[in-house]
Chains A and B, each alone.
Chain A
Amino acid sequence: MSEGTLYDKVWDRHTVTELPDGRDQLFVGLHLMHEVTSPQAFGMLRERGIEVAFPERTVATTDHIVPTASAERDRPLADGQAETMLSELERNVSEAGIRFFGLGDDRQGITHVVAPEQGLTRPGMTVACGDSHTSTHGALGAVGVGIGTSQIRDVLATGCIAAEKQSVRRIEVTGELDDWVSAKDVIVTIIRQLGVDGGVGHVYEYGGPAIRALDIEGRLALCNMSIEGGARAGYVQPDETTYDYLRGRPFAPEGEAFAAAREEWEAIRSEPDATYDDVVEIDADQISPLVTWGTNPAQAVGVDEPVPEPADLPEGEREAAREAQAHTGATPGEPMAGTPVDVVFLGTCTNGRVSDFRRAAAVLEGRGPDETDAVGGDVDADAVGQIADGVRGLAVPGSETVRQELEAAGVDETFRAAGFEWREAGCSMCLAMNGDELVGDELCVSASNRNYVGRQGSTDARTVLASPATAAASAVRGEIADPRVVTETADAQGGEQ
């Protein structure tokens, strides 16, 4: 059993009581809500005549079903089902008195982008949401768990979930990330090494020099995909980077309250002599930009490395690898680099934040990884790399706040000049509920988190997960490409491609 970790401390301070079945009744400090998994929960409450117990601890937004094309966001939405779903949410939050960042609000966006950037997620909190990517919030030293609709009903009715404490696995990432290697590549490496079910029964604590060096947006991408590794929650210890990020956010404490909160945040960190159930070490120096070749996120390989032969894999993985390769068309022995691309999708709760778009823009502008601050502005449109002929590029900011910030810096112009469709905030093509979807057997290089068959809207389509930089490089080349190679070439040509 773990002892003295952040997870232990957060668990203890939120435990209300032990339930008769042995689980703990755990208070939820921040409950995030969206339109897809909540209406049924409100229905159950009405059936039982129960009112929302702690409406002030829930914050709602809309993300899964909202159109991202500006012209399609007028009400009523063209998709009748989507309109009904959004109207239901609006009615529910209004009746219960729940804070809501709705369509048209400057703060609307993907729950896991919105809550951190608004300063709602803070160290030491428990966060729950009817969405598996709630693990994201661990980036700020919170413990975030995805829950089902019956558990949403529990949170609304009681402010709590019934939960069982998990084991804590420390994942120590040593070394330093290379140019153009991102947090996304780190988490995909971890999933590749430990498996898509390696984290079942565990919470992941990410640490070590390579993690400490990540900014908060990188940590958000890292923790986001804990669930793809089977871990319901993953977190990073709060530190100066965390406090700097939180300072000045709309819902973060101010002045003296900030100083007091900061002491609390320091105290919630894992003790230096904390006991972990398990420790795994990963060497960041060995990580290169990754792409997936299969139909789950562990089926990944360096963009320039050969796709594995199923026969060379452990016996239990061979059949699944054969089926996956039959679906994606990946050729064993050949690298994924060079594979023709139909669609490039930037955005999502994994990679839909300002720094993600800045990195992608840097690739489009032929800049180096240390020049992401320089993108946009009054960039010469002719100097921006163009999306290759026949490729469709979709850039979907994770929130309206992200969109506004990028537009204020002129970064949207880089994407527009390159030929990307520049959209408004939503989950979009990550799960294709809003009309943004792949058709036929299109191949999409996607800065999202799941490459399951059918995930992006067509059962024949192929999803290749990649970082925003790799996705942007692939857009320019029209084939899966290594951002290190694409930007070097651009350098040699004086920024023109």
Chain B
Amino acid sequence: MSDLPERGSAVRRVAGTGLPLPGDDVDTDQIVPARFLKEVTFDEMGEYVFYDERRDEDGELGDHPFDRPAYRGARILVVGENFGCGSSREHAPQALLRWGIRGIVGVSFAEIFADNCSSLGVPTVTADRETVDDLRAFVADDPDAGVEIDVTRERVVYDGREVSVGIDESARAALIDGQWDTTSMMRANLDRVAETAARLPYVDEGDGSGAGTNTSGGDQ
């Protein structure tokens, strides 16, 4: 997909139509079943989002929210509690992203999942259950209506109103500054990393113990 969030770009607001997903404790095995993890790139993951849950015994697509025509093209996913629990597989947020999701509103998120979303420039924001249920009902009633996550102002805007939502402070800062891809930012500190490593008692203990000596790989 051509419009994946671009590295270094600020994510201050994401907007589009919504997709309400029922249930709590939705695990990443549901979001992308393990057998699709045998691909060595994320390119096709959008095809596998909720793969099993969307299909009946004969493999036919049914009435899952991800298949309802009304929610086609949705950008904002609305979920319950502890969304993304279980396996750390980044395939799960990659699949949602590549399907078209650009932001998620939920009661709560599993930590690794939320971290993975942040790494991809996808905001995950939280609100109490009543607010989330209200938003889900609103989207279900009017799937064409716009829903916006305003990351800067920590608001979700829909139905002509604004509700306050929670977002992890550092995730928010990273998104609005366009620094959600942390590799180059941390790589700039490599000298200090080496200093920190050298201070650790277990690094280069000089006794051949630990993973400290790499016998086969040179000194890259």
Contact mask for chain B residues 184-214; partner A; CB cutoff 8 A; 1 contact, 0 none: 0111011011001101111101110111111
- At the interface, yes or no: A88 with Cβ under 8 Å from chain B? yes
Contacting B29 at CB < 8 Å: which of A59, A164, A450? A450
A151 to B201, CA, bound (A): 25
Contacts of B203 in A (CB 8 A): 29, 57
- At the interface, yes or no: A251 with Cβ under 8 Å from chain B? yes
A27 to B119, CA, bound (A): 18
CB distance from B26 to the nearest CB of A (A): 10
**Residue of B37, B177, B179, B211 contacting most chain A CB atoms (<10 Å):** B211
The reply to whether A17 and B192 form a contact with Cβ atoms under 8 Å apart is: yes
| Interface pick from B39-47, B63-71, B148-156, B157-165 | B39-47
- At the interface, yes or no: A131 with Cβ under 8 Å from chain B? yes
| Interface pick from A196-204, A400-408, A475-483 | A196-204
Contacts of B52 in A (CB 8 A): 454, 459
- At the interface, yes or no: B85 with Cβ under 8 Å from chain A? yes
- At the interface, yes or no: B27 with Cβ under 8 Å from chain A? yes
The reply to whether A96 and B220 form a contact with Cβ atoms under 8 Å apart is: yes
The reply to whether B37 and A36 form a contact with Cβ atoms under 8 Å apart is: yes
- At the interface, yes or no: B108 with Cβ under 8 Å from chain A? yes
- Kindly report which residue of chain A lies nearest to residue B109, judged by CB atoms: A200
Contacts of A260 in B (CB 8 A): 201
Tell me the residues in window 103-132 of chain B with beta carbons closer than 8 Å to chain A beta carbons: 108-112, 115-116, 119-120
CB distance from B201 to the nearest CB of A (A): 5
The reply to whether B41 and A40 form a contact with Cβ atoms under 8 Å apart is: yes
Contacts of A433 in B (CB 8 A): 34-35, 37-38
- At the interface, yes or no: A220 with Cβ under 8 Å from chain B? no
- At the interface, yes or no: B173 with Cβ under 8 Å from chain A? yes
Interface of B is mostly: loop
The reply to whether B217 and A97 form a contact with Cβ atoms under 8 Å apart is: yes
- At the interface, yes or no: B33 with Cβ under 8 Å from chain A? yes
CB distance from A315 to the nearest CB of B (A): 11
A452 to B75, CA, bound (A): 27
The reply to whether A257 and B216 form a contact with Cβ atoms under 8 Å apart is: no
The reply to whether A54 and B197 form a contact with Cβ atoms under 8 Å apart is: yes
Contacts of A196 in B (CB 8 A): 25, 82, 85
**Contact status of A16 and B193, CB under 8 A, knowing A51-B220, A433-B38:** yes
CB distance from B12 to the nearest CB of A (A): 14
CB distance from A335 to the nearest CB of B (A): 24
Tell me the residues in window 438-471 of chain A with beta carbons closer than 8 Å to chain B beta carbons: 450, 452-455, 457, 459
**Contact status of A22 and B186, CB under 8 A, knowing A148-B119, A254-B207:** no
A23 to B192, CA, bound (A): 16
CB distance from A193 to the nearest CB of B (A): 16
**Contact status of A56 and B213, CB under 8 A, knowing A19-B182, A200-B110:** yes
Contacting A453 at CB < 8 Å: which of B30, B90, B174, B187? B30
Contacts of A27 in B (CB 8 A): 193, 196-197, 200
The reply to whether B40 and A252 form a contact with Cβ atoms under 8 Å apart is: no
- Kindly report which residue of chain B lies nearest to residue A298, judged by CB atoms: B25
Contacts of B197 in A (CB 8 A): 27, 54, 57, 159
The reply to whether B211 and A158 form a contact with Cβ atoms under 8 Å apart is: no
Contacting A164 at CB < 8 Å: which of B170, B190, B210? B170
- At the interface, yes or no: B144 with Cβ under 8 Å from chain A? no
- At the interface, yes or no: B89 with Cβ under 8 Å from chain A? yes
Tell me the residues in window 140-159 of chain A with beta carbons closer than 8 Å to chain B beta carbons: 146-151, 153-154, 157-159
Contacting A125 at CB < 8 Å: which of B38, B111, B202? B202
**Contact status of A158 and B174, CB under 8 A, knowing A29-B202, A97-B218, A320-B24:** no
A57 to B110, CA, bound (A): 28
The reply to whether B214 and A97 form a contact with Cβ atoms under 8 Å apart is: yes
A128 to B66, CA, bound (A): 33
- Kindly report which residue of chain A lies nearest to residue B107, judged by CB atoms: A197
- Kindly report which residue of chain A lies nearest to residue B213, judged by CB atoms: A56
**Contact status of A57 and B186, CB under 8 A, knowing A21-B174, A454-B29, A455-B29:** no
The reply to whether B119 and A151 form a contact with Cβ atoms under 8 Å apart is: yes
The reply to whether B196 and A16 form a contact with Cβ atoms under 8 Å apart is: yes
Contact mask for chain B residues 47-60; partner A; CB cutoff 8 A; 1 contact, 0 none: 00000100000000
The reply to whether A55 and B217 form a contact with Cβ atoms under 8 Å apart is: yes
Contacting A320 at CB < 8 Å: which of B25, B40, B199, B216? B25
| Interface pick from A77-85, A270-278, A302-310, A365-373 | A77-85
**Contact status of A85 and B85, CB under 8 A, knowing A20-B185, A132-B112:** no
CB distance from A19 to the nearest CB of B (A): 6
Contacts of B209 in A (CB 8 A): 119, 251-254, 257
Contacting B181 at CB < 8 Å: which of A58, A119, A150, A316? A150
Contacts of B207 in A (CB 8 A): 253-255, 257
The reply to whether B192 and A16 form a contact with Cβ atoms under 8 Å apart is: yes
- At the interface, yes or no: A374 with Cβ under 8 Å from chain B? no
A384 to B192, CA, bound (A): 59
Contacts of B87 in A (CB 8 A): 131-132, 431, 450
Contacts of B23 in A (CB 8 A): 320
What would 10 more interface pairs be, CB under 8 Å, given A15-B196, A57-B197, A454-B52?
Answer: A37-B89, A40-B90, A56-B213, A150-B119, A160-B193, A197-B81, A197-B82, A197-B85, A230-B110, A251-B211
B residues neighboring A (CB under 8 Å): 23-25, 27, 29-30, 33-35, 37-42, 52, 81-82, 85-90, 93, 108-112, 115-116, 119-120, 168-171, 173-174, 177, 179, 181-183, 185-187, 189-190, 192-193, 196-197, 199-203, 205-207, 209-218, 220
A residues neighboring B (CB under 8 Å): 13-17, 19-23, 25, 27, 29-30, 36-37, 39-40, 43-44, 48, 50-59, 64-65, 79, 81-82, 84-85, 88, 96-99, 119-120, 122, 124-125, 130-132, 134, 146-151, 153-154, 157-160, 162, 164, 196-197, 200-201, 227-228, 230, 232, 251-255, 257, 260-261, 264, 296, 316, 320, 431-433, 450, 452-455, 457, 459
8 closest A-B pairs (Cβ-Cβ)?
A97-B217, A150-B119, A148-B90, A56-B214, A148-B116, A197-B82, A21-B173, A146-B88
29 CB < 8 A contacts A-B: A13-B200, A16-B193, A29-B202, A37-B90, A39-B41, A57-B211, A57-B212, A97-B216, A120-B211, A130-B88, A131-B88, A132-B86, A147-B112, A151-B116, A158-B193, A159-B197, A160-B186, A164-B168, A164-B170, A196-B82, A200-B109, A227-B86, A253-B210, A261-B202, A316-B24, A320-B23, A431-B87, A453-B29, A454-B33
